[in-house]
Structures are given as C-alpha cells and as structure tokens.
Amino acid sequence: MIHLGNGVLLTMDNRSFRFDPRRLEPGDVNMISHAHSDHLPTSFKDMAATCSPITRDFVRVRRRKEIEIRSEGGVRSLEAGHIAGSRMFAVKGDKTVLYTGDFCTRDKGSTKAARPHKCDILITEATYGKPQYVFPEHSEVIAVAKDWLEDIVGKNRIAVLFAYPLGKSQELTASFRDFPLALHPTIAQNNRLLRSHGYDLCDAEYDPERTKPPFVYITSGMGKDREFVRKLVGRGAKTAAFSGWALDRGYTYQSGVDEAFVVSDHCGCDELLEFVRRCSPEKVFTQHGFAKEFAHLIRRELGIPAQPLVARQHTLDHFC
C-alpha cells in the first residue's frame, strides 16, 4: 500500500517505510532523499533516518537537529544525481519499490548521474514531465556560459549569477572555477560543508573591502541580497539565471536577467521516460511538477500503467 500524507508511506511485509516525511515517526523506516527544504523533515519525533552523511550535516545546519544515520535491512541507497548527497531508495520486500526523490541522469561538474534500477513499483518525480522539456547537452551550455563570462571579465566588469544556494550554486562554482568567484555567504558556507566531504569547491565570500571588479558573484538574489544585486547592476553588472525553465519562451524577460542558461538539477522529459523504461517497472506513480501529464506519457509511450500519486491509498497490486 502506498499513501501520500506525511511524506510517501509504503506499507509492505508489515513494515512502514516513509520517504521524505515531514515528521520522523518512531517505529517507521524514515528516509530523507536530499537536503532541499521541501524534502527535509520539520518535526523530529524520532532522531534516526536513512540518508547520506551530507544530508545529515545539512539537517544539522538547517534544522539544528542531530540525526543518526540508520541503515535498514532491505533498503538500498542509490545515487540520485540531483544535488550533493542526494539519494534514491530501493526497498526490497514482497515487491521492489524504487523512490527517486528528485533525480538527474546527466553527469555534471559536481554530481554523478543517477542510474536506473530494476524495480516492480517506481515512484518517480515528474518536475519536467512534459515533452517540450528536453535539455541540451550540459557541457555545451556551460561552454556557452563560459564564453559569456569571459567577455564580461575581459572587460573588467561584474557578472551576477542567480542560483539556488544548494545544488545549482555548487554546479556553477565547480564549472566556473577558473573565474574570479565571489560567493554569497550562505553559498560559501554550503561549499565549506561539502569541502569537509571531499568536494573541491571554492568558498571565497564576497568581501566589500577586497572584492574588486572583475568578479563573478553567485547568489540566490533573494531576501536582503536583492538590494545588493540592484546596486551591482547600477555599477554595470550583467546578470544571468540558470534553470531548466529557461526553455520556456519569455523566461529571460520574465526573470529580468540579461541571459538565461538551460541548466537543471532534474531530468528532462526524455530522460525521465528513458529512466522509467530501463527500470522496467510493472507500475509507476508520478509526483511533483507535471505528474498527470507524465503518467499519461508513460502509459502512451511505454504501455506501463502509471498514475499520479494523490492523497489517498494506492494498493501495489492494482490501479483504481
């Protein structure tokens, strides 16, 4: 039985498995796929979970809770390729159930690709689950972005790159390591945490005393930093966003940036479909983003029963 509520609850062989629960429940097998806030617990009735050491350390920083990593019989953690420390979970019981969380099957500068895993039931994300979302070759996009940056830096100017503090920021830090980087303090802090896990990432914070043009400032551009970015733009800074949504027409204009580059931490629709095919499940549940559209696509293109995961009980054996 699969139930959407406090995370995704799977009951199988008299055990309860929770994927990305909001509340860690004692007695259940709690699994945390990665450290983005929509996947992290907010309430801790239990202090143990299955997750990567990196995710554990981000729980410490972001939730100020010390959780203990527990490995459970029948549960395998697999690389998800989404952000540092992201994991998919394969639960083996009466059936093999694979939960992807957010995942990506492209190798990138700071993460390794997720690989398909044979399963009976697949619970997959569908953020970009519409056919128009096909991402270009990652290395080619980065090469074009480097040309853009070289031009700016060559003119002794400032570039501002907008990116999520965890995930995209590390990708940009790794990809643009040869540029004079200046990071928002939160991003520098995240990079420092990852350095302690062996990541080779620059952690140079922007310093008003010492950082002089040319430099490349990486920031989320949110909160108090909005005003700061406005000032940099007033000094002639050029801005760029990095997102899968940059495929949408009008994205650059709506985001108010000078340039937008198609870089995503997720699979494109073609990659999602290929992943499902290679996992060869009997049934698929989709969630997040274009869940309904992607379930339809799986049925039509692969002939595999698929449906969006909604807040009611789904049995593993049939679809209602």
For binding to Zn ion (CB under 5 A), which residues are involved? 36, 38, 102
To Zn ion, the closest distance from the beta carbon of 172 in angstroms equals 16
Q: Nearest distance from residue 86's CB to Zn ion, in Å?
A: 7
Which residue, 96 or 169, has its beta carbon nearer to Zn ion? Answer: 169
111: burial class by Cβ within 10 Å (0-12, 13-18, 19+)?
buried
CA torsion through residues 6, 310, 128, 99, sign: positive
Are 169 and 187 spatial neighbours (Cβ–Cβ below 8 Å)?
A: yes
Q: Kindly tell me the burial class for residue 223, based on how many C-beta atoms sit within 10 Å of its own C-beta (0-12, 13-18, 19 or more).
A: exposed
Sign of CA dihedral 79, 35, 193, 110: positive
Judged by beta carbon, residue 122 or residue 152, the one nearer Zn ion is 122
Are the CB atoms for 15 and 316 separated by under 8 Å? no
Ranges assigned E (strand) in 93-194: 96-99, 121-125, 158-162, 181-183
Q: Output the six-digit token pair for 28.
A: 């259940």
Other Cβ atoms within 10 Å of 148 Cβ, number: 16
Q: How far is the CB of 227 from Zn ion (least distance, A)?
A: 27
- Considering the complex, what minimum distance in angstroms separates the CB of residue 35 from Zn ion? 8
Q: How far is the CB of 212 from Zn ion (least distance, A)?
A: 35
CB of 171 to Zn ion, least distance (A): 13
Under DSSP, is residue 238 helix (H, G, I), strand (E, B) or coil? Answer: strand
Q: How far is the CB of 246 from Zn ion (least distance, A)?
A: 17
Burial (0-12, 13-18, 19+ Cβ within 10 Å), 108: buried
> Are 256 and 92 within 8 A, CB to CB?
no
